[in-house]
Amino acid sequence: MDKGIIEKIKKEIQNFAPSAKKEGAGIVSFVGDGVAEIEGLQDLKLGEMLIFDTASDKALEDALDSEPVYGLALNLEEESVKAVILGEASAVKEGMTVKPAGKLLSVPAGEALLGRVVDTLGNPIDGKGPIKSDTFMALERDAYPVLDRQSVNEPLHTGIKAIDAMIPIGRGQRELIIGDRFTGKTTIAIDTIINQKYEAESKRPVCIYVAVGQKESKTARIVAKLQEEGAMDYTIVVSAPASASATLQYLAPYAGVAMAEYFMDRGQDALIIYDDLSKQAVAYRQVSLLLRRPPGREAYPGDIFYLHSRLLERAAKLSEKKGGGSITALPIIETQEGDVSAYIPTNVISITDGQIFLDASLFNKGLRPAIDVGNSVSRVGSSAQTKAMKKVGGSVRIELAQFRELEAFAQFAQDLDEATKERLDRGARMAELLKQNKNEPMPFYLQAIVMFAGNEGLFLTLELDKVSLAEKKWLQFVEANYNKTLERIKEEKAISETSEEELKQAMEDFKAANADLFE
């Protein structure tokens, strides 16, 4: 822009509102699509809140119930500031005075939010009245440095056999859940929240579910399910539905992690689920294009990697000196036709500590959860498992991966040798054993005795369609007749030699008591 024109604009602003300059305020020079361009603001911080002066318009002030309209400064340019409008965009007019709020965008946090459904700014949207919280946490905050962290060494049980046995998640880990639409990604996340009810109250993590760009009906069903299972008592739901502005959708995950940091800073554990970051990326692209930021690869702005990295880096397991609290992050990413090599999936895969890959073909075959063992990994691994799960889950992953390969090969083979047939039979029954119904998470000690029986070949002689029934009967049998063994495994979190001998005896007794099943 020509320097003469810039000087002319400055003089016009000074003539238009001489008082604004004195108070460190600015003037809206352009507004459209939820973005305001402001001239005259000085010494502003990126991410600082702005207050639009609607008081000058009495009718407008009455219509807004005296609530101020806030903005968020996102582009700090040489001659102007571009800000996104967080409130009623139609209330902001050209020529309106804008003042810095003197603080970064913050949301309420604390125990008062437990059991509540809130929007991105922490306002309640569940009809249960106002939230009384004196604590506010900034949406944007630097992640803890490496020296303030410790290695992930404590399990966060999902209640899903296939995950806890083969792809364990630890407290403080970032584990990506990735797959096509309708492959059960949200189900895994919700089951993980429900499963935390089996944890002792002192060790139970606070759960935060962030719904980005979802249908409000879906979020309502999830909240109803959590209430039904008694899980809302320790859960906060942050909802930025598809009907919300792109700005609120982009900011929602940061609001969620800010609420989680309140608990981590106090030495507690938190679990946060971002459902999903694909929609957040789309919302951020929309905001960026309105702010005239240049698009890059696949039409996303160049800082899209930073969008997710600065979010997920805030998940951590803090050192004992810092209180030992943790945030475990389970981001969800949606793929198109299983393409994990696309821009956003590769970004988030490179940021996280592993991924759970859900395969649409396995899902359509009836394998639920549809976890592709070959493409799924946990970079924390067995250090985040109890001794019991480590003992029984060690061989399952290899066995299942080999079964998938043999299964594909066997489709083209006429004659198979006995050893291959045996491995196929064993793998098929193990795959059947790992099936699990929706919203039925299982405590780790019950998982351990199921996997132990599977490894010992209890279900090997059964027909495939009888494996699920046999598993239920086996659990009922152990709970009824070997409850002391079960309690010992639960307390010790390990299968000792004594427990192992008792479980082997239990298997013999179970076969004798259910002879008709094993015929």
What is 1-37 written as a DSSP string? Answer: --HHHHHHHHHHHHHH-HHHHHTT-EEEEEEETTEEE
Handedness of CA 464, 465, 470, 475 (dihedral sign): positive
- Greater confidence, 418 or 164? 164
Per the annotation, the verdict on 285 as an active-site residue is no
Mean pLDDT estimate for the chain:
90
Tokens describing residue 58: 């009495």
**Which tens digits make up the pLDDT trace of 430-469?**
999 999 999 999 999 999 999 999 999 999 889 899 999 9
Instruction: Determine the average pLDDT of the residues in 253-261.
Output: 98
Q: At what angle do helices 467-481 and 444-455 cross, to 10 degrees?
A: 120
Closest of 85, 102, 93 to residue 55, by C-alpha: 93
Instruction: Determine the average pLDDT of the residues in 353-365.
Output: 94
**Which tens digits make up the pLDDT trace of 165-177?**
999 999 999 999 9
Q: How confident is the model at residue 1 (pLDDT cuts 50, 70, 90)?
A: very low
Radius of gyration, alpha carbons of the chain: 27
Q: Which residue has the tokens 């980005």?
A: 212
Q: Which residue has the tokens 């299968």?
A: 495
Instruction: Determine the average pLDDT of the residues in 127-156.
Output: 94
Q: How confident is the model at residue 403 (pLDDT cuts 50, 70, 90)?
A: confident
Closest of 315, 306, 349 to residue 144, by C-alpha: 315
Tokens describing residue 469: 């029934």
240: β partners: 212
Q: Dihedral, CA atoms, 136, 141, 146, 149, nearest 10 degrees?
A: 20
Contact 441, 160 (CB under 8 A): yes
Q: How confident is the model at residue 11 (pLDDT cuts 50, 70, 90)?
A: very low
Contact 385, 374 (CB under 8 A): no
pLDDT at 65: 56
Catalytic residue among 221, 379, 397, 423: 379
Is a pLDDT exceeding 80 seen at residue 163?
yes
CA 127 to chain centre: 25
Residues contacting residue 237 through CB under 8 Å, at least 6 positions apart: 116, 117, 118, 208, 209, 211, 219, 222, 223, 226
pLDDT at 174: 97
**Which tens digits make up the pLDDT trace of 27-76?**
999 999 899 999 999 888 888 999 998 776 555 455 545 578 899 999 99
What is 182-250 written as a DSSP string? Answer: TSSHHHHHHHHHHHGGGS-TTTPPEEEEEEES--HHHHHHHHHHHHHTT-GGGEEEEEE-TTS-HHHHH
pLDDT at 394: 78
pLDDT at 15: 44
Q: Tell me, yes or no, if the pTM score tops 0.85.
A: yes
Q: DSSP letter at 170? A: B
Q: How confident is the model at residue 21 (pLDDT cuts 50, 70, 90)?
A: very low
Contact 452, 392 (CB under 8 A): yes
Residues contacting residue 404 through CB under 8 Å, at least 6 positions apart: 373, 374, 427
